[in-house]
Amino acid sequence: MRIVVLGGGPGGYAAAFEAARLGATVTLIEKENLGGTCLNWGCVPTKTILRSARIAWDAHNAAEFGLILPAADVDEERLLERKDAIVTELRSQIEATAARLKVDVVYGVGRLVDAKTVRVTGEEGETDYHADALILATGSEVFRLPSIDHSLERVWTSDEATSIIATPSSILIVGGGVIGLEFACAYAAFGAEVHVVELMPDVLPGNDKRVQRAAQEALEKMGVVFHLGAAAESIGQFGDKMETVLPDGSIIETDYVLSAVGRKPFSEGVGIAEAGIEMDRAAVKVDEYFRTNVPGVYAIGDLIGGMMLAHVADEEGLAAARNAIREYEFAAAEGLLAKMTHVPHRESVDYSCIPACVYTFPEIGVLGSSRDSAKAAGLDVVQAVAKFAANGKALGEGEPEGFVQVVAEKNTGRIVGCQIVGPHAVEIIHEVALAKRHGLTVRDIAETVHAHPTVSEVVRLACADAASKCGV
């Protein structure tokens, strides 16, 4: 069986590698660099920058730990070199895995000719690649507000912010979501004056209210100024300064403006709609098994919208590859290649068990439903909260802010959701994810001995309280 994967990001290369492991002949088409947005301009570069920012912030607060240190002086060139070296190393590992699994990596711009053929335009001209199954994984691109002139030198998107490592003395960030808050945290730690303009009345729109408040308060303590329920009415460059006008007429002057209003599926110019594949606005429409309306064509990752996260794309890629091979083998055996309707053992993804993380100071990890969203869905739930302020490890590390909030189904104790704001939140959220994935209860976590002192003890305390409230 031959599978062609269009797009070499986390979802694309995960699908390609899994298909190769399962015996398929695989061609992976990538227009630029393997690793996609996550590795080259997103997850990895931003976390690398945030690590440097964390050191700078710790130096700023060193006196609280009995240490007298000078303020951190950012070496922008060295920071950029370190970021590039990490990206290059990880990219080389992906390339090595592709070679080991005999995945044919083709670089060039791919466009669908039909549901079984991708035409790649590269340095040597055009070449057609034919497939028994096609997995679309073209990812996403930066969403650009029409009200912002991105041709201005001092207007950045997240792509520029991770490619041109600079530490301006002041910056205005449009967007108070995950991307905006992470950059706000980094620039504030580096000593910049930071303003965040968010159209919604709260930061991190769609999240639990307690999480929103904690995130905003933590960044305000770092000096970040929020302008919520407001839009950037106009943005202009005047010499080496940017002027942003808010709805109330006030003007904010900064060195740079960073547009961080999110991303959108990259579906234009790929030939997807022309191949008869059904769309949901900019996203490709799929069923729970990542099948499009065209037999043998699958789509995953940011291209299908939903939780636009690298680890989600990875999981979807694995499922799509397995489904593609199973369906092809079943259809071929039955002589029903054009009527793949009933295939056993299809795989889907349980999105309620997937953590979403924000790498601010403190970190944020959320999973499943909040109490309000669970109740809105008709579930009878309880909520329990334990705080890091009473945790010895958190106090010792100087990070007593934050909490673990567990939402569980009343009477059964089954985990519905969890929200963590605090030290190492992006790591310890996985304990709850594992429990939820395998149907464990809050009582199961509460009865599991946690090492002392660790910040994960707060998870156990929250679960113990939840178990009591659930009556289990």
Instruction: Report how far residue 232's alpha carbon sits from residue 243's, in angstroms, rounded to the nearest whole number.
Output: 10
Neighbour-count burial of 379, counting CB atoms closer than 10 A to its CB (0-12 exposed, 13-18 middle, 19+ buried): middle
Terminal Cα-to-Cα distance of the chain (whole angstroms): 51
Distance of CA 298 to the CA centre of its chain: 21
In this structure, is the dihedral angle defined by the CA atoms of residues 48, 49, 52 and 57, taken in order, positive or negative? negative
Which residues, in sequence order, are bridge partners of residue 89? none
Token digits of residue 434: 């594992």
Known catalytic residue: 452?
yes
Q: Are 238 and 151 in contact (CB under 8 A)?
A: no
Closest CA to 412 of 383, 438, 441: 441
- Catalytic member of 130, 342, 430, 452: 452
Q: Residue 339: is it exposed, middle or buried by C-beta count within 10 angstroms (0-12/13-18/19+)?
A: exposed
CB atoms closer than 10 angstroms to residue 470: 22
> What gap in Å lies between CA 76 and CA 164, rounded to an integer?
9
CB 404 within 8 A of CB 420: yes
How far apart CA 103 and CA 114 sit, in angstroms, is 22
Order of strands across the sheet with 251-254? 234-238, 241-245, 251-254
Nearest to 108 by CA among 37, 41, 27, 16: 27
For the beta carbon of residue 369, count every other beta carbon within 10 angstroms.
Answer: 21
| Active site residues per annotation | 452
